[in-house]
Amino acid sequence: MHKVNKILVPIDFSDDSARALRHGLSLAMETNAELVALHVIDKTDDNDFFIASVAMLEGSPLPVNEFPTVPLDVMARERSLDLWNFIAQNVDVNHQSRITRQVRIGRWLTAMMATIHEEAVTLVVIKLREGGMLFSALKVLKLIQMIRRLPCPVLLDTSSSRDQSGPGKGLLWLHPVPGETPA
C-alpha cells in the first residue's frame, strides 16, 4: 500500500459530498495528509433548459433566448464563496485550515485529472449518492468508468445514511487498472 500524502474530495454541495468531506478529513488527520476540496462548474450542465422551460410555461413576454446568463468569472467567484460556506458548515473550525479549496470550470473528469496531477493527489474520496436501484446502478457504472481513468486509488463510500453498521462498512478501495494509461 502506498503512502497517502494528499486527498481529493469532489464537492457538489450535496449531503453525500459533505459526508465524503468529513470522511476524507478524518483520513487526512490520521495519515497527516493534506486535503483538497474540489468543486467543478460543469459548462455542459446547461441550466438554460430549465429557465427556458419555466419561461415557456409561465408565458414570458421575453423570447426564451434573451434570458441573461451569468458570466463564468462571476459564477466561479460565487461558487468559491459557496465552497467556503459549505466547508464551514460541515467541518469543525479547528480543522478548516487543513483544507485547500479549488473551483474549476470544465468537465468533471478533466478537472479532477488536472487537480490530481497538479496537486500530486494520492487518494480520491467519493461518497456514492443514494437513489433508486436503477438510478444507482447506472450511476455506479458511470462512476466506475470514471474511476478507471484516474491515476490514483479511490476510496468509494457506498454506505447509506440509514446504515448504522460499524466503521469501514460500505467502503471500497479501488485501484487504477495496472497497465492502462489514464485518458
Model confidence pLDDT, tens digit, residues 122-144: 999 988 766 555 556 677 777 77
State how far the Cα of 182 lies from the Cα of 46, in Å rounded to an integer: 27
Q: In this structure, which topology does domain 6-174 adopt according to CATH?
A: Rossmann fold (3.40.50)
Query: What is the residue extent of each domain of the chain?
Result: 6-174
Name 2's Cβ contacts closer than 8 Å, sequence gap at least 6.
Answer: 122, 153
The type of residue at 20 is: A
Predicted confidence at residue 145, as pLDDT, reads 80
- Asked if residue 136 lies in contact with residue 128, where contact means CB atoms within 8 angstroms, the answer is yes
Predicted confidence at residue 63, as pLDDT, reads 56
Q: Is the pTM of this model over 0.85?
A: no
Output 33 or 57, whichever has higher pLDDT: 33
